[in-house]
Amino acid sequence: MTDTISIVLPVFNEEAGIKTTIDTLENYVAKQPEDYELIFVDDGSKDKSVDIIKSELEHNDNIKLVEFSRNFGHQIAITAGLQYTSGDAVVVMDADLQDPPEVIPSMIKKWHEGYDIVYGKRKQRDGESFFKKFTAAMFYRTFKKLATIDMPLDTGDFRLMNRKAVTQMQRLHEQDPFVRGQVTWIGFKQTSVEYHRHERIAGETKYPLSKMIKLALDGITSFSMKPLQLVSFFSVLPLVGGLIYLIYLIAVGGFTAPTVGITLMLFSVGLVFLSLGIFGSYLGRVLDQVNDRPRFIVRDTVGFQERQSSIHRLETRQRVSR
Ligand code: UDP
Ligand code: MG
């Protein structure tokens, strides 16, 4: 049986290059043994991107379009795109051909070898500023230290996921998803293929610094509690400082209004930070609960039909009763 591959492409103001992307992909798809559907998710473009896609859609029945009512962001566009896929496997890629379609066959090969998720690992990045590469490298290395998941370095959102993985991704309901973190979090058998990331074919990056910062913060706050816990440590310095100063005052008998004031101030600053730390730890738990991720994911079961369906019933009942 022929495999069907869904390609999800988030689009935001890509009029300059979208036609080339469609032509290149159609050309690529025509030569492949698999069946393909190309799902463009228009993330509230204000230019002619939608018109161009629509006119291509008329004579290519493997092209589909999901249009957002406004710009919700790249990560949401990917998340939504997954919901509309029907292929046996799904590939997510940029609409600017920075992720070359020639890499897809090697992803499919790994999938056929038994991997559920195959991510593209950038071994070279063309046409991106030193600032972008440097901040990205710093972010991934910091993230690795802070996060509870072991996200592979130098990967973006270019990857293949099989149907099982996509189904599990659809169970995550985060408001501000950090997709590459979620993909790591769901587990399964994951591997990578290396690729050379090209310069975008046309137009400017749609990721200004503000969106990069939001992405980085979403990544850290959804996968690490460490910054919250760190707040408690800020209390140690003023508290210990206050205590030492108090002992010193008792020893030398130097109680005056200013010295008592300094002692009180050190103590209270310490207590404020300590309280923030405690609040933070609780807030972290609330955040976890609000994220509402399923508590576990079963990759496969063999010969446990009864048990599996009862686990499913239990999960469903718990979710409905919340
Ligand atoms: N994109 C989107 N919504 C946004 C920003 C970007 O759908 O708010 C799309 C964009 O059209 C592209 C992909 O997401 O297909 C990645 O964005 P971009 O290529 O600008 O990021 P970069 O590759 O420069 O990191
Ligand atoms: Mg790009």
For ligand 2, a single-atom ion, which residues have Cβ within 5 Å? 94, 96, 98
Which residues' Cβ are closer than 6 Å to ligand 1? 10-12, 14, 43, 71, 73-74, 77, 94-96, 98, 200, 205-207
Determine the straight-line distance between the first and last CA of the chain, rounded to whole angstroms.
42
How much is the average pLDDT of 110-134?
89
CA of 36 to the centre of ligand 2 (A): 22
Residue indicated by tokens 């990560």: 75
pLDDT tops 50 at residue 321: no
Residue 276 is predicted with a pLDDT of 82
Instruction: Tell me the ligand closest to 81's alpha carbon.
Output: 1
Question: Which atom, in ligand 1's list, is nearest to the CA of 72?
Answer: 8
Cα(301)–Cα(298) distance, integer angstroms: 7
> 223: part of which helix (H) or strand (E)?
helix 209-223
How much is the average pLDDT of 237-258?
83
Query: Residue 187: exposed, middle, or buried by beta-carbon count in 10 A (0-12, 13-18, 19+)?
Result: middle
CA of 12 to the centre of ligand 1 (A): 6
How much is the average pLDDT of 5-13?
97
Residue 43 is predicted with a pLDDT of 93
Cα(77)–Cα(186) distance, integer angstroms: 19
What is the percent of the chain with per-residue pLDDT over 70, rounded to a whole number?
91
CA of 208 to the centre of ligand 1 (A): 10
Residue (of 44, 69, 65) closest to 53 by Cα position: 65
Backbone angles phi, psi at 94, to 5 degrees: -65, 150
Instruction: Tell me the ligand closest to 212's alpha carbon.
Output: 1
Cα(280)–Cα(285) distance, integer angstroms: 9
> 312: part of which helix (H) or strand (E)?
helix 305-321
- Cα dist from 224 to 147, 166, 172, 214, 217, whole Å: 5, 23, 17, 15, 10
For residue 277, the SS3 value is helix
pLDDT tops 70 at residue 144: yes
pLDDT of 184-221, one tens digit each?
999 999 999 999 988 888 888 888 889 988 899 889 88
The set of residues, in sequence order, having a beta carbon less than 8 Å from that of 162 and lying 6+ positions away, is: 88, 89, 90, 111, 116, 117
Query: pLDDT band for position 301 (50/70/90)?
Result: low
Handedness of CA 286, 292, 293, 294 (dihedral sign): positive
CA of 256 to the centre of ligand 2 (A): 64
Handedness of CA 242, 248, 253, 259 (dihedral sign): negative
Residue 291 tokens, joined:
């994220």
pLDDT, the chain, mean:
86
Name which residue leads in pLDDT, 260 or 315: 260
How much is the average pLDDT of 122-146?
85
* Cβ contact 235:274 at 8 Å: yes
CA of 100 to the centre of ligand 1 (A): 15
Residue 300 is predicted with a pLDDT of 61
What is the percent of the chain with per-residue pLDDT over 90, rounded to a whole number?
48
pLDDT tops 60 at residue 266: yes
pLDDT of 20-36, one tens digit each?
999 999 999 999 999 99
How much is the average pLDDT of 32-56?
94
User: What pTM, to 2 d.p., does this model score?
Assistant: 0.81
